[in-house]
Amino acid sequence: MIVVLIGYMASGKSTLGKMLAKKLNYEFVDLDDYIEEIEKMTVSDVFKTKGEIYFRKQESFYLKEKLENSNNIILSVGGGTPCFGNNMEMILESKNVTSIYLKASIPKLVKKLIKKKDKRPLIAHIETEEALTEFIGKHLFERLPYYSQAQLIINTGSKSKKNIVEELILKLF
């Protein structure tokens, strides 16, 4: 089985994905890290030097590769991955794949992202917490039609990471 974790940046896809992979004895793959390894530069640098269109094409190519050639993995994709090209369709139509939307509240996302916005090309330019809240709200509204297509939706709320992983396991099996 391939479990694809989708959700907004800082929703816990990588952290929870690693924990889930460990519990299930699966491999964990972060699609952005995989792309960085192959491109030999950070996602931020790919955006800066080659542009978003190039990045999105590569992202789609590597997503397809992972969905077709993997088994027993937890695949964490970037927040924008499901929203471009036919990526969400590809995830939903792939055999042996379960997609899970990790739904986090806007205040929780703002709290996490305000601390590390410099490492996120999409929000690095945003100055205030108020502006970040507005940006995330608008962005989430645009992405929700994609995220909500996931087979499972887990509301992360104020649950502990351990409880979320247990809930993921219960819903998967």
Pair of tokens at residue 88: 């969400």
pLDDT attached to residue 158: 87
- Among candidates 78, 60, 57, which has minimal Cα distance to 120? 78
**Binding site membership for Mg(2+): which residues?**
14
Q: At 116, which CATH number? A: 3.40.50.300
Pair of tokens at residue 71: 């088994």
* CB 142, CB 89: distance < 8 Å: no
pLDDT attached to residue 151: 97
**Binding site membership: which residues?**
10-15, 32, 56, 79, 120, 143
pLDDT tens figures, 94-147: 999 999 999 999 999 999 999 887 778 788 889 899 999 999 999 999 999 999
Question: What is the pTM for the complete model shown?
Answer: 0.94
pLDDT of residue 61 exceeding 90, the answer is: yes
In the chain, the number of structural domains is 1
**What is the span of the domain harbouring residue 89?**
2-172
